[in-house]
Structure 1
């Protein structure tokens, strides 16, 4: 489905295309699922409301997995309760949602909107096909995403 449409786009557009839509995950992501975290080190700063995870960081929520060298967790306070607002990941970031994977150098995951911004030599892999660019923006609830920058693809027959 996605790949056939993508193939038609690339046949009709010159190789210097700057934007490409991409599906990512199944679009049925459960943002209310518990967030599981593993890392070699954890530093918490109560004054700023941040936690910094370093070394083999893996964060999982339902079918979503994020791994990176470093993740800063930012919290929001509402009515006296703290909740995770945003994850800022850096260092060989890998995001896996179901059978889809995306890698880059930095990512910002905003939990409230279920949006992920991945930057830095982005590569998306789906069913053996790859799509690369400078930046991926994806919404986990809808599964809709856009790759921008110097967009390149490899399609398997």
Structure 2
């Protein structure tokens, strides 16, 4: 018996409409089901494959700013998509904690309207000892971002081995 993956996760929220808007309009998730009476929304990044990966439901009782979840990380398909989110977050005034290379990923840590930390990231085919976290400049071409990530890894990070 073994766990084969994470099925879905979710947040209790104060303002369901604001959070629904953020995760659909800004992050691009699709609503697959919702029940206004129960105050719950089911969302997916690929509804044809997975009914829901993420759930929002009214009923949060923690005070604003309480640390409840470490982060939710959303995998993307390309560095261009990470850079697109960099621009979108700036245009939307979304609080970004850090734009980062982990050696094995390039991503952006950001906060949703209720202060939950999220990350969008591209997996990079490297085996890098963690934690490795260096700030990365996403205001450049994808080739230059990859070059900077490589420089940060070799100049300031632990030894790494390519993934086999």
Structure 1 length as normaliser, TM-score?
Answer: 0.29
- Relative contact order, higher structure (CA 8 A, sep 6+): 1
Higher strand fraction: Structure 1 or Structure 2? 1
Structure 2 length as normaliser, TM-score?
Answer: 0.28
Greater gyration radius:
2
Higher helix fraction: Structure 1 or Structure 2? 2
